[in-house]
Each structure stands twice: as C-alpha cells, then as structure tokens.
Amino acid sequence: MADQYTMQDPTKQFTKAGPEFKQQQPEPGLQTKMTPVPDCGEESYRGTGRLQGRKAIVTGADSGIGRAAAIAYAREGADVVLAYLPEEEDDAREVVKLIEAEGRKAVAVPGDLKDEQYCIELVETAVRELGGIDILANVAGKQQYVEDIADLTTEQFDHTFKTNVYGLFWVCKAAIPHMKPGSSIVNTSSIQAYSPSEILLDYATTKSAINTFSKALAQQVAPKGIRVNVVAPGPIWTPLQIVGGQPADVLPEFGEQTPLGRPGQPVEMASAYVYLASQESSYVSGETLNANGGMPTP
C-alpha cells in the first residue's frame, strides 16, 4: 500500500473531479455519505513517531482536513481531543475508533465554536483528560456561497465570523495559559485569503483575518516558546464543499483550475499539520504553508 513517502506523480495521485462529484447535503454534512468518500489517510497515512507523547486539540476533527490531522497526530504518537458539531457524531465515532486503534487516547467533545463557553470547556476538558495541551490545531470552518451581497444576511456574516474567527480567538485565548514552551498552534486559512471568489465575501474575509491574527499572535507568544503557524489549503474534497460551500454545478470541475489539475484530498494536508506541530519546525513561526495544488500566492 502506498503511503505519503511513496514517490509518485502528484497529478495522478488522486482522481480528477467528474460528474459523480455533483452532490448536496445539508450543513454541516457527513463525509461517510459522500461519493467518492474523501481520503483522510485512514489507510494510507503512516506515522513515524514525530509527535510521540504529545497532547493535541483538533477542531473540526470529524471530517475532511481536521480528520486527516487528527488521524496523523495519533499515528505520530499523540493523544487527541476532537471538537466537532453534535450533528457530526457518526463521522466523529469513526475517528475515535481510528485513534484508539493506534493505542492513543481520543476524547470527543462535541459543541458549537460560536459559543465562547464551549470553547473554554473544550480547553478545560483537554487539560483534565490529557493532562495538558502541546498542540492546538484550529481546523473547523464555515463556508456558504452567496452570489449577491444583497442576499448575504447579517446572520450568515455573523455565523461565518463567529465560527472562523471568534471561535479560533476563544480557543487560543483559553489554551495559551496551559501551553508549555515547545507547544504549537496551527491555524487554517485558505487560498481564498489571497485569491477570493466573488461569491465568498464573508468566508474569504475571515481567512485573511486568520492569516493576520496568526502573524500577530506568533510574535506575541514567541517569548513563551509557543509557535503559531497557518496551513492554507487549496480546493480539497471535503463536506464543506458539498453543503453550500460551492454551487453544485461547479463540483464536477472542482480543482481543475490548479496547476496539478485535480482536487486535493484531506490526507495531502496531514503532513503540513504534523510538520508545523512538531519540533522539526522549531525556527518557523508566523508562517503560512500553502498546500494548494501549485497556485501562486503572495
């Protein structure tokens, strides 16, 4: 079985999109019901002990990129607290099983990141159940396309910011007092921060906010020995895209605009989250790692 160390042609490593990619589910969606099911490394991610004994929180850990990060962290030797929405329990259960199969601890903490109290409880649970926090991967996010600003409601604008920006702020704020020197925060931006789609006004704006927040926070916590970095994915095949993140009609061509000519799979993001969480990136902070199929970024 090929894993992330097997040399191969990246243009052919995973399938291009096609007619079968056209599908819709209500938010937040379940990836178990997607065709094809996204590849989060369940079979293919091989750990080599890069995060032995670490204690991690991963938000959005039930599906997509967060699930890929959670699986990779466990295979690299970390215990993981998983944050996700209560409606995503079926996806989350699978991740818990995969983490436990590695002999690592998995603690499921469902809830809504738009609620500051939940963000505080998430961190308190991690401290209580894992005995601390060495890695905080903020991966959860909300994306809903709206073609005309006239139809973009204040409620949606508010929910996108509450989920993507406030939730991240609240979890970072609660976690930092518990993080020892050597700890790492990994936030999740997007190609949308640099190259925004006209139909993603609110979402794209939150992603540039996350980049800027991370660069500022990285400087603030550097003297504490805590590093803050960002992963900025391109088009990745996840539930986010089929619950209103994109118009259904464009899904058959999803990812075709990238130089590599295909959508990315969540497992292809996993190594970025591992690298930035581990001591291998000891002199890297305030950085954004673009993993987007080769699209140029500033």
Residues with a known catalytic role = 203
Q: Which residue is nearest to ligand NAD (CB)?
A: 64
**Least distance from C-beta 42 to Mg ion, angstroms?**
15
271 token code pair: 């190594």
**Least distance from C-beta 53 to ligand NAD, angstroms?**
26
Element (H, E) at 206: helix 201-221
Q: Is 63 a residue that touches Mg ion (CB under 5 A)?
A: yes
Count the Cβ atoms, other than its own, within 10 Å of residue 8: 8
Contact 236, 292 (CB under 8 A): no
Q: CA 17 from chain center: how many Å? A: 21
Token pair 């990994």 in the structure block, residue: 186
Which residues of the chain form contacts with ligand NAD (CB under 6 A)? 28, 60, 62-66, 84-85, 88, 112-114, 139-143, 163, 188, 190, 233, 235-236, 238-241, 266
Token pair 């690592």 in the structure block, residue: 104
Token pair 């990285």 in the structure block, residue: 218
236 interacts with, out of ligand NAD, Mg ion, none, CB within 5 to 8 A per kind: ligand NAD
**Least distance from C-beta 281 to ligand NAD, angstroms?**
19
**x/- contact string, 86-115, with Mg ion (CB under 5 A)?**
--x---------------------------
179 interacts with, out of Mg ion, ligand NAD, none, CB within 5 to 8 A per kind: none
Select 190 or 205, whichever has its Cβ closest to ligand NAD. 190
Select 140 or 272, whichever has its Cβ closest to ligand NAD. 140
Select 79 or 88, whichever has its Cβ closest to ligand NAD. 88
Strand runs labelled E in 132-264: 135-138, 184-188, 227-233
C-alpha span between 239 and 144 (Å, rounded): 12
Residues 6 or more apart from 162 whose CB is under 8 A from it? 113, 114
172 token code pair: 């970072």
Select 70 or 218, whichever has its Cβ closest to ligand NAD. 70
Residues in the site for Mg ion, rule: CB under 5 A?
A: 62-63, 88
